[in-house]
Structure 1
């Protein structure tokens, strides 16, 4: 099928599925920020009549005492807490089922996610499945959450995924590692706390990867075909904040101001996703996570510069605006020059944050299958230009290690 007809088919599909998104009511909920916002959120939960909460997190956050900061306040407020700390990166339906079993055993009437995107996505799915037949796999797709989920509250401990602000969750199949999407406005949390105190001391590598994840969301929503004034405003602000504050947070993990600004930037970019979706960067990054368990933020960071180069002409005007926003381009630059300068600024930010330019685990023999899956996924996103398999393979080959590239040419 020619690219013209593939594009025509994609635009028709996007126009159809955009209808319910455009008809959604404004997605707004309570957000607490600043020092002490963890306690504010917990007291808010108690005031809402919550009495038994399932806390969804991971073992490291329990060991570090992060989870206890919330549990102690909830306990003081008379709320009983059941801790489920079985979350690992790229949560699976098995993890969801384990959380559902605990929720049923202790009759929990709400869910609190404490952690990064994996914990938040798993908590969203547990809360939704608990009131919708308890089979999470039946919720895969758009608008499958018929009954209101259990009340969901979120304490993000990374500044990247934006899951605390989105209407979607990503859960993986155990055997195939395929990433499955569940999206419904009912999945939006009731309240969130953006507490910089939970982010202090985050390792530099995680700060870099999660921060570039947030930047990917901000850029992809800003150049999306579905962009709205609202999503553009969030994406625009997020890009500016990330370029200013991510290097600071990376250099000094105890910089509370930079941490708080990054938390807000990630929240903004998550809000933008609700209107504008994501794009080709995510389409490829999801496959790298599936094949090699590459952390999602790192995968996005690795892929983004080359994908933006591929999209530079189709998304030239918005990319040029971003170039002028972060002041790497001036009024005398043409849109093409400004867009190119912005893309190079993204690549330079990767380098400043210690993001590698190659993915050592990537294998030449896997590239055709990865590209086929990425092209299929990307066709469902509101991207300005579709990738062909050959174009996607070319992008992927820029990530090959020098030894793997030499072996492929031999």
Structure 2
């Protein structure tokens, strides 16, 4: 009975919050794809009449010369570049403020993000806060970006977060470790480049974690209660592309075709998020990042198989569709069997990519708190079925290391 009323309350909340999303104008912008598209994006920026760009990135990408590939082209086109390289994983409001200070000091009239999801999210907030009172914390929540941000452009150097294609950003509060969510269609970049040349040197472990992050987005949007023909089309295509090309990119990092296809899949999955949101996998993964600093893509990968098993009945039809899509199931399998084979394939892909089955940092003593926070967050997403705290705790305990699990039983 309690679960019935929780579900009824959640569906009422989702119906209410879905209204502004359904009324959003169609999201469209320019995307350059393929090797050499960095230069295309930079020339496009120059053609917009922009004179001074704040480049938001991180120190490793500056040291590797990745940032210079864009900056050199921009400068050749007569655009001045100011580099902010202070972004770190899980960007904070302090990093946003530091970027804002540089933007104001040099009167930058546009922002270019070069990096993974952290740099892109930080750039989104800098561009938005610059034209909305310069206090990023006041933009936390939905649809609070009242004035158009500075023109924002993105050059992703990982293939996973999809932030280059979404209307949202996540910024961390270093005191509470809370991840603050900001979403507004005005935050969508004006143009992006998916350049395989920038992805060729990505380490195998990062390739695996970010690729599984993209797969999580694709699956969660495909089984979402908010799924539409458009978002389902993006998610469906992304799942197939990731299963086909992520192992190739992982085992042979200089495979430009594989890199390009995984980048495009991450982009598709990001586009799907704009309509369909995410789900229970993210609800748990966010807490693992908050408590232990677990990288987001790795956390999603660790959690996903068990969460999908928990949702196997509620999301049976779409999971079965995906099983047949990647050919681990066929027309002779009923939906229950096909869905199970797809979930097994996700777990097998984790193993093939070197993703561990346990999280060494996880402590049994923390599980009750983590589960409570995950259940609370999950209730805000259009998931096929809500988790109870006990169900979430069971999922989490499956991730305990053998040593910690034995200690918990002692």
State if a TM-score over 0.5 links the two structures. Answer: yes
2:349 corresponds to = 349
Which residue of structure 2 aligns with residue 205 of structure 1? 205
Listed as ranges, the gaps of 5+ residues in structure 1 are: none
Partner of 1:131: 131
Scaled by the length of structure 1, the TM-score of the pair is 1.00
The number of equivalent residue pairs is 410
The aligned residue for residue 71 of structure 1 is 71
The equivalent residue for 1:327 is 327
Q: Do structure 1's residue 314 and structure 2's residue 309 form an aligned pair?
A: no
In the alignment, what sits opposite 1:378? 378
In the other structure, the counterpart of 1:174 is 174
The answer for the alignment partner of 1:40 in structure 2 is: 40
Q: How many angstroms does 1:132 deviate by?
A: 0.5
Q: Which residue does 1:396 correspond to in 2?
A: 396
Question: How far 1:336 sits from its partner (Å)?
Answer: 0.2
Once the two structures are superposed, residues 107-151 of structure 1 have per-residue CA deviations (whole angstroms, 9 ceiling, x without a partner) of 100000000000000000110011001111110000000000000
Q: Hey, what does 1:120 align to over in structure 2?
A: 120
Cα deviation code 1:356-397 (max 9, x no counterpart): 000000011111110010000000000000001110000000
Helix, strand or coil at the partner of 2:113: strand
Question: Shift of residue 215 of structure 1?
Answer: 0.1
User: Which residues of structure 2 form unaligned runs of 5+?
Assistant: none
User: 3-state DSSP class of the match of 1:8?
Assistant: helix
The aligned residue for residue 278 of structure 2 is 278
Q: Which residue of 2 aligns with 1:16?
A: 16
In structure 1, distance between residues paired with 2:95 and 2:391: 36
Distance 2:123 2:371 in 1: 31
Q: Counterparts of 1:10 and 1:128 in 2: how far apart (Å)?
A: 30
Helix, strand or coil: the match of 1:181?
strand
Q: Which residue of 1 aligns with 2:102?
A: 102
SS at match of 2:155: strand
Q: Deviations over 1:279-335 (max 9, x none)?
A: 000000000000000000000000000000000000000000000000000101000
- Residue equivalent to 1:238: 238
Rounded Cα–Cα distance in structure 1 between residues aligned with 2:193 and 2:289:
28
User: Displacement, 1:267?
Assistant: 0.2
Taking the aligned partners of 1:153 and 1:231, their CA distance within structure 2 comes to 23
Per-residue deviation, 1:35: 1.6
CA distance in 1, matches of 2:86, 2:366: 31
Superposed structure 1 runs of 4+ greater than 6 Å apart:
none
- 2:157 match: 157
User: What's the TM-score, normalizing by structure 2?
Assistant: 1.00
Match of 1:183 in 2: 183
- 2:370, 2:101 → 1: CA distance? 35
